[in-house]
Amino acid sequence: MSFHQRLQSVWAAQNSLVCVGIDPELTRLPKHIREQEEPYLVFGTAIVDACAPYVSAFKPQAAHFAAAGAEDQLAKLIGYIQTHHPDIPVILDAKRGDVGSTAALYAKEAFERYGADAVTVNPYLGHDSLAPYFQYSGRGVIVLCRTSNPGSDWIQGVRVGDEPLYLTVAKQIGEWDVNDQCMLVTGATYPEELGEVRGMVGDMPLLVPGVGAQGGDVEAVLKAGVDSIGQGLCISSSRGIIYAGSGLDFAEKAGQAAMRLRDEINRYR
């Protein structure tokens, strides 16, 4: 099964396009979780179990774990998801970008050390920086294209001939994606441009951050971004879901937030 096929399967089975980003910060965790020996793992597994009925992907953010020296907790969390919710892909949000042996080691880190189903990568160094990830043909390679942050125009909007750079990236990734494993990161805060990317790449899946705390409009994203069968999107929310509650019922609150986002998305599909 290709990564694209796996996504199509989980979108249909879960009736959801929601991706929950797991970006733990120790100071924001409930007090009773901060006191645990492995707080990020305890927090993450509770969030996962509560949200799993309503989502099609989980996206732990590597730096949030690594900065706290919690890489082992990240590996355990990914292993937990794959054991208890094996049909839901895990996207390691790492945004790696390098060449040669370093790129190969980053790919090994993502897919062998952590066992992630997909990883986010930066295409700025060209095909050389992506080739090691393509060697893992069943895994997803999620390429930054049109990101949701306000400063992204500095480079992503630069004109390359008659089109902005982000469309050049989209076109090129479409040509390189010979194993149906690529996605493009296209921010919810730029729905018109998300639609341009969709028009460029056909039914290639898109990872769409920027709803929730960043203010992206769900209806606009769905109108611009769904594929030919009303799927094709992993719409990601992190803080708006994982910090929906701060007490003993934090996981229940997160599950409710994930369910609300799923239902809002499905109203516009």
Query: For residues 213 and 109, what is the distance between their CA atoms, to the nearest angstrom?
Result: 30
Query: For residues 232 and 216, what is the distance between their CA atoms, to the nearest angstrom?
Result: 17
Is there a catalytic annotation at residue 95?
A: yes
Query: For residues 266 and 53, what is the distance between their CA atoms, to the nearest angstrom?
Result: 15
Q: Which of 31, 76, 95, 223 is catalytic?
A: 95
- Contacts with 19 (C-beta within 8 Å, 6 or more apart), sequence order: 55, 56, 57, 58, 59, 91, 207, 234, 235, 236, 237
Query: For residues 256 and 24, what is the distance between their CA atoms, to the nearest angstrom?
Result: 18
User: Contact at 8 Å (CB) between 211 and 264?
Assistant: no
Q: Which residues are marked as active site? A: 95
